[in-house]
Structure 1
């Protein structure tokens, strides 16, 4: 692994599990909005909290910047990736294209083991809905679509999907902060049913049906997010035909 001239090589004795725990914790804090968009990510505080030296933490920060979770600029503290007019408009334009493409490719490539893993994630998603567990509802939805991206096996689409899912999760968390109405709960169960149908289409290798289902699923999410989470005055593209 390469290091910059002002850094010592990463200590190979640093437990991998501690670095993995830091990575997972930081990702969860960002997508759950515990760390708000634009918030400073305190490198020294993370070193103290997880018992790591600065080189492995800095390496992780660069990795997470590449994935879209944080923003790194010269002579400035690391910050959680922002959500602004430009990023939100780009999100709503790109989402249907990326979700359809990755889901159709997943249907073309998925193995029985892939489908079984997706069903396990879906089971956790349904349990979170039934338990009114907002954080896990958002996180398991994120995992569901990320796993579909893994199944797509496309190195060009995956970075875009990862970045898309960060803002989808953050917008979803914003939406779910409102008290659940009867209609909202009904639509969450509708979303879970759509997940089941998407899994079935992937298992059948029905790429056309998988694309149709995920587009309808996106439209349900889009209505939620535009109603509750989008700043007033922001024109949101409806979709692509």
Structure 2
């Protein structure tokens, strides 16, 4: 379809449609890591010209969800398993620091927002729709981050949460297969309680345990489903270090 042949639509809606649809499909692993994203095929699929598709792909690249190769083709960003230890180490530090600050600085209004986000997550768990669950999980943790009153730490944390949503999807899948884990709701409730009590040490310990639970279940999922024959010595994480 040529750019001139695009059906009339409100300005920007084509980009929004393509971006949000592809983003959801990437996050939910409908579009698998490494899948080719061809502009022409996508334009035909969405009934639009290549221009809004191209802009949507640029936005997805900014989210680290797609990668443009040297030959100018675009693929869904791979999940880099070898960098997972470093990712979890960064997530652990960001999660603990934001939760500690929230316990120290939270207001009553912050508590109401965090509690509401926790109820939203519990409702999402009941749907068993992983995309809704991961978004509700993100909103819960970002409510905590905002209560910490440090926009730099909050922004860093938000980017890590976004980058980890595909891994969280696999994490949820692992837990729902009855592998002895649980879907974070109890941990969320305990974190809320520690923040309410202004118990900084307990908030820190719970945030740290939260990261470890995600780490351990994700590793077990990968071992059983994707890395059965691959050694995982590289997963000896440094996440046990304390936060100064």
TM-score by length of 2: 0.72
Contact 2:15-2:55 within 8 A present in 1 as well: no
Q: Is the 8 A contact 2:27 2:131 kept in 1?
A: no
Q: Residue 181 of structure 1: which of 178, 183, 188 is its match?
A: 178
Tell me: CA distance 1:45–1:224, structure 2 relative to 1, closer, same or farther (3 Å).
same
Measure the CA separation in 2 of the matches of 1:200 and 1:30. Answer: 34
> Highest Rg: 1 or 2?
2
Q: 3-state DSSP class of the match of 1:183?
A: coil
- Compute the RMSD of aligned alpha carbons: 3.3
Alignment correspondent of 1:194: 187
Partner SS, residue 177 of structure 1 = helix
Given the alignment of the two structures, is residue 30 of structure 1 paired with residue 26 of structure 2, yes or no? Answer: yes
Q: C-alpha distance in 2, partners of 1:62/1:105?
A: 35
Distance 1:175 1:217, change over 3 A: closer
CA distance in 1, matches of 2:177, 2:24: 22
Could you list the per-position Cα deviations for residues 162-193 of structure 1 after superposition, in whole angstroms to 9, with x for gaps in the alignment? 44324533223224435532733xx22xx212
Deviates more, 1:13-22 or 1:227-236: 13-22
Q: Unaligned regions of 5+ residues in structure 1, if any?
A: 1-12
Aligned to 1:233: 231
Shift of 1:49: 4.5
CA deviation digits over 1:177-223, x for unaligned, max 9?
Answer: 35532733xx22xx212112223444455544332221111122222
Aligned positions of 1:129-148 closer than 5 A: 129-148=125-144
Q: Are residues 1:63 and 2:56 paired?
A: no
Aligned 8 A contact 1:104 1:207 in 2:
yes
Alignment pair present for 1:224 and 2:217:
yes
Alignment of 1:63-142 (within 5 A): 63-107=59-103, 110=106, 112-142=108-138
Deviation sequence 1:102-143 (CA, Å, 0-9, x none)? 333444565555443433332232123344444433332233
Alpha-carbon contact 1:68-1:163 (below 8 Å) kept: no
Q: What are structure 2's unaligned runs of at least 5 residues?
A: 1-8
Residues 74-124 of structure 1: per-residue CA shift (max 9 Å, x gap) = 542222221234332322332211211233344456555544343333223
TM normalised by structure 1 equals: 0.73
